[in-house]
Structure 1
Amino acid sequence: MSLNKLNPLDLSQPSIRALHLSWFAFFLSFMVWFSHAPLKPLIVETLAMSADQWKALLILNVALTIPARIVIGILVDKFGPRHVFSGLLCVSGLLCLGFASAQSFEQLALTRFMLGFVGAGFVIGIRMVGEWFPARQVGLAEGIYGGWGNFGSAASAFILPSLAVGVFGTFGGWRAAIACTGIIAIVYGLFYYWRARNTPKGSTYFKSKKSGGLEVSNKKDFWLYIAMNIPMYAILGVLAWRLGPSNISLLSQNLVYLMWVILIALFAFQFSQIYRVNKEMLEHGVPEHDKYEFKQVAVLNWAYFVTFGSELAVVSMLPAFFLETFTQLSLAEAGLLGGAFAFMNLVARPGGGWISDNFGRRRSMSIFIGGLAVGYFVLSQIDGGWPVALAVLAVMCCSFFVQAGEGAVFAMVPLIKRRMTGQIAGMTGAYGNVGAVTYLTAFSFMDASTFFLIIAGSAVATFFLVQMLTEPQGHMSEMMPDGTIQRIELT
């Protein structure tokens, strides 16, 4: 296979087989994660849920993914993608079966909250693909992984309403449709363990020197790293308040206070872990060959906040938005049209990675984030007077820039520090979920038009942050098990 060309149809190449094994695992994790969204009317009717309870369910679905992506990133760097992806699929499949059999809103809320962990599956494949492809191909490869895998949410919107109504209508309806995704995830988790390998034959799987936090290169980066952890805890605190008695009333006020105390304690614990990991650096510095700029991680985090964060929020509400805006649509039709946003993942995210590989990391990301700001502004203007076809076209154009931006972000993530790729991907991915919870919390207070405008405004701010990115050049260095230094080319 040429170093300059990547042919995803060439299954004779072990790297291509690893790519396909991984994107489909990610695809299934997203099917499980968003299996509830297109089935809203059926679930609400079965359990007599209120509108506030449904919005709470949407927020809970993405909340746990924030810490989960951090945890999964650490586990991937320590144990490798093969073990972690297999375990995640099997456990999430069981939780999916629990959601399908829930008999009360409280049971739905608990299992949906726990299913937020499956959203961390994305992080695993980022490290896997980064191991199998060289720097000049990694953007496209990560784009294929992320784009084709992300299509799992669209597949849920396309397939599950028809299964629930047309196939399983007399045999449990939405419950049977959702249970199917869980069973498939379990079976494929076992298959992935059997067939996947962490690295090409003869390659070294670099592991972090210490676990518990990212290693940084100087004191300034240490404090920036600490500051970048604050929004993850803050948005979970806002979520606890949103679920409290003054809003949705899922939690008592005392439980809200308890959640806040736990979050403060967790932040203090994480601070201690980050200090432990970086204590030697703070006292003695870091060898020149081992340095990297944490600023790169911070900018990528905020870029993913506005790209993937907005996608998660929008795919959660878009089927219902179409159903309520265009009253002539059926449930299946609204689910199909709502899936149009995620449908663009098939080409947009690989396209964003390829453009990043060939035309510059910062320039491509700037174009995509600027484009999504314009796209969300256009979506804010949609109302029942629009032709449905024009509304769908606007959604797909906006989603192209959103998902191409995601591809550009993760085209750069594996080029920062190889042994910490899982943790960097985990933190960046977690910021996507911080964005999702932030946007969905905002959505619970406002109409769809204002919601889209909020996203557009945050994209404009992120555009200026992206200008701070430094293009990765030359090589990164990693320590081999025998103590020698290996240069990993970035061109």
Structure 2
Amino acid sequence: MASLKNQKSTKLELLNFKSISTRTFWITSFAFFLCFFAWFGIVPFMPDVVRDLGLTPDQKWNSIILAVSGTVFARLLIGKLCDKYGPRLCYTWLLMLGAIPVVLIGFVQTPIQFLICRLFIGFIGASFVITQVHTSIMFAPNIVGTANATSAGWGNLGGGANRLGMPLIATAVISFGIAETDAWRYSMVIAGVMCFIMGVVYFFFTKDTPNGNYKELREKGELPQTKKDEVGFLEVLKDYRVWILFVVYAASFGIELTVYGTMDDYLQNTFKLSRLSAGNIVLSFALMNIFARTLGGFFGDKFGKLKGLRGRVLFLVVILGLEGIMLTTFSSITVLPIAIGFLILFSLSVQMAEGATFSVVPFINKKAIGSISGIVGAGGNVGAFLAAMLLKSKSAVAEKIAIADNQGAAQEVIEAAQASASSMAVSSGYLFIGISIMVVSILALSIKFSIQDEESVAEEMKNSLLLAADK
């Protein structure tokens, strides 16, 4: 493994395409972008889907829950597969197989079919794990946090870009004579085809490591054999730090997913914004991934240089606590400009917390980076599932009561009562979630590293920088 360490890039040189690390960074980031684009591609069309398929409020919430639930199992599995087969093959197959349910959702005719497709589309959310594994393999300790955070942040942009991209695709489809009511179907088919093509690109234009692919390196004896990998996975399962990071990522990425998925309705119901205005605000929230997550990884690396591995943990604790404070405060604000200000601060802190988490992950157990990334990444979706269940239980019940209490009134009156009930329910849910995040930040303080771990990372960083200076 020493030869692999020596080849890792010590800089994130975005325009140095001669570097295999740089090429991999761009390709894996764009693949992740497309996966998120397709994963949440249906979100801008949900009002059309509700009308077309006749979804009930429960079914609408269930589709949000299923979209993040399938990813939990996929991320747990894909991390182990990355350790065994390498990120290149794993990403290739994930993109090509994941394209199938994305295409099929364009052909659904019933709510059940729609829910099944959303469940399986969620599997492509496992792309995050492969992206983090691939960048962890390609970059040295002094820059790995920044590289991981940037690739993940730019990939996450797909979840915001679809709010612009999907309507544009739909408009293009309509210009070819397709009925407007069917535009969302054709748009999802196109998104699926894009994922499939990206799978082919990933196979032919990336390598597993700076030295070559896993299969070749194992034949040369430069990588551990499968049995050793399995021991590493057992060690991962027994390591308490992995499960704390699991909870930390649930409190950061998991909450971002849920807030992102519910904020449109909340802004419309609470501040009486139009669908377009609310969508643009949420889009801005998602577009902060251009820099916010990178900042988390960057400061994680900086604190790592100053205070070692413990410094990375301390920064994570601080930024996670700030995230909880921002969401808690936002939940009680009813003045739009102030609410937007705290929403921006929440967006900044939650994405920085995600970047900071994966500035710690690569140092837990270097023999099983894939397995650790998979477990921690799955934590994000478990958090999203639990948060969505909480908000659903509050909002759906409140809406039903409002409808029942106003039965026989004008439709406008019923809709206004339903919106008000949903707003209050989601607000109380955000408050509870914010307080929970602050508790998790305190829990993160218990993550410890041995003196041997600190010395090993310091030595690897020193060797990588010396090698880079000699080039």
TM-score (norm 1): 0.77
Number of the residue aligned with 1:348: 292
CA distance in 2, matches of 1:192, 1:166: 27
Alpha-carbon distance, 1:379 to partner: 2.2
3-state DSSP of counterpart to 2:227: coil
CA distance in 2, matches of 1:35, 1:214: 37
2:318 to 367, 380, 390: 367
1:200 to 198, 210, 213: 210
User: Which structure dedicates a bigger proportion of its chain to helix?
Assistant: 2
Change (3 A) 1:328 1:317: closer
Query: Considering only aligned residues, what root-mean-square deviation do their CA atoms show, in Å?
Result: 2.5
1:334 to 278, 285, 305: 278
Alpha-carbon distance, 1:488 to partner: 5.0
CA distance in 2, matches of 1:213, 1:53: 42
CA distance in 1, matches of 2:379, 2:365: 19
CA distance in 1, matches of 2:154, 2:109: 34
3-state DSSP of counterpart to 1:188: helix
Alpha-carbon distance, 1:184 to partner: 0.7
Q: How does 1:226-305 map to 2 (within 5 A)?
A: 294-305=239-250
Alpha-carbon distance, 1:365 to partner: 0.3
**In the alignment, is the contact (CA less than 8 A) between 2:10 and 2:140 conserved in 1?**
no
1:386 aligned onto 2:331: no
CA displacement, residues 217-252 of structure 1 (integer Å, 9 cap, x when unaligned)? 5xxx86xx4xxxxxxxxxxxxxxxxxxxxxxxxxxx
**In the alignment, is the contact (CA less than 8 A) between 2:8 and 2:210 conserved in 1?**
no
Number of the residue aligned with 1:322: 267
Number of the residue aligned with 1:457: 435
3-state DSSP of counterpart to 2:17: coil
Read off the aligned partner of 2:179 and give its amino acid letter. T
**In the alignment, is the contact (CA less than 8 A) between 1:303 and 1:409 conserved in 2?**
yes
Alpha-carbon distance, 1:3 to partner: 6.8
Alpha-carbon distance, 1:2 to partner: 11
Number of the residue aligned with 2:400: none
Change (3 A) 1:328 1:428: closer
Number of the residue aligned with 2:200: 190
Number of the residue aligned with 2:35: 29
Read off the aligned partner of 2:227 and give its amino acid letter. K
**In the alignment, is the contact (CA less than 8 A) between 1:38 and 1:319 conserved in 2?**
no
Change (3 A) 1:445 1:167: same
1:120 aligned onto 2:126: yes
**In the alignment, is the contact (CA less than 8 A) between 1:306 and 1:459 conserved in 2?**
yes
**In the alignment, is the contact (CA less than 8 A) between 2:25 and 2:135 conserved in 1?**
yes
**In the alignment, is the contact (CA less than 8 A) between 2:252 and 2:351 conserved in 1?**
yes
Change (3 A) 1:161 1:490: farther
Q: How does 1:16-55 map to 2 (within 5 A)?
A: 16-55=22-61
CA distance in 2, matches of 1:210, 1:440: 38
TM-score (norm 2): 0.80
Number of the residue aligned with 1:68: 74
Change (3 A) 1:158 1:490: farther
Change (3 A) 1:457 1:95: same
**In the alignment, is the contact (CA less than 8 A) between 1:97 and 1:178 conserved in 2?**
yes
Read off the aligned partner of 1:33 and give its amino acid letter. W
1:141 aligned onto 2:144: no
Read off the aligned partner of 1:344 and give its amino acid letter. M
1:377 aligned onto 2:328: yes
**In the alignment, is the contact (CA less than 8 A) between 1:55 and 1:444 conserved in 2?**
yes
Alpha-carbon distance, 1:339 to partner: 2.1
CA displacement, residues 464-489 of structure 1 (integer Å, 9 cap, x when unaligned)? 11111225512279xxxxxxxxx855
CA distance in 1, matches of 2:359, 2:437: 19
Change (3 A) 1:346 1:456: same
CA distance in 2, matches of 1:393, 1:404: 17
Read off the aligned partner of 1:345 and give its amino acid letter. N
Structure 1 alignment gaps of length 5 or more: 226-293, 478-486
Number of the residue aligned with 2:102: 96
Read off the aligned partner of 1:325 and give its amino acid letter. T
CA distance in 2, matches of 1:134, 1:119: 26
1:429 aligned onto 2:407: no
1:442 to 380, 384, 390: 390
3-state DSSP of counterpart to 2:14: coil
**In the alignment, is the contact (CA less than 8 A) between 2:8 and 2:137 conserved in 1?**
no
Alpha-carbon distance, 1:391 to partner: 3.6
Change (3 A) 1:208 1:373: farther
**In the alignment, is the contact (CA less than 8 A) between 2:10 and 2:139 conserved in 1?**
no
**In the alignment, is the contact (CA less than 8 A) between 1:208 and 1:420 conserved in 2?**
no
**In the alignment, is the contact (CA less than 8 A) between 2:313 and 2:360 conserved in 1?**
no
**In the alignment, is the contact (CA less than 8 A) between 1:84 and 1:124 conserved in 2?**
yes
Change (3 A) 1:335 1:18: same
Structure 2 alignment gaps of length 5 or more: 1-6, 304-310, 395-424, 464-471
CA distance in 1, matches of 2:100, 2:333: 39
Number of the residue aligned with 1:311: 256
Read off the aligned partner of 1:44 and give its amino acid letter. V
Alpha-carbon distance, 1:395 to partner: 2.0
Change (3 A) 1:196 1:430: same
Change (3 A) 1:318 1:425: same
**In the alignment, is the contact (CA less than 8 A) between 1:96 and 1:179 conserved in 2?**
yes
1:179 aligned onto 2:179: no
CA displacement, residues 188-207 of structure 1 (integer Å, 9 cap, x when unaligned)? 11111110100012674556
Read off the aligned partner of 1:403 and give its amino acid letter. Q
Number of the residue aligned with 2:88: 82
Alpha-carbon distance, 1:322 to partner: 2.7
Read off the aligned partner of 1:181 and give its amino acid letter. A
Read off the aligned partner of 1:174 and give its amino acid letter. W
Change (3 A) 1:32 1:213: farther
3-state DSSP of counterpart to 2:210: coil
Number of the residue aligned with 2:17: 11
CA distance in 2, matches of 1:167, 1:216: 50
3-state DSSP of counterpart to 2:291: helix
CA displacement, residues 412-446 of structure 1 (integer Å, 9 cap, x when unaligned)? 11122222111100000111111010000001022
Alpha-carbon distance, 1:60 to partner: 0.7
**In the alignment, is the contact (CA less than 8 A) between 2:325 and 2:438 conserved in 1?**
no
**In the alignment, is the contact (CA less than 8 A) between 2:8 and 2:140 conserved in 1?**
no
3-state DSSP of counterpart to 1:470: coil
**In the alignment, is the contact (CA less than 8 A) between 1:198 and 1:205 conserved in 2?**
no
CA distance in 1, matches of 2:40, 2:145: 26
CA displacement, residues 284-343 of structure 1 (integer Å, 9 cap, x when unaligned)? xxxxxxxxxx2321221111010011011111112232333343423x443222222222
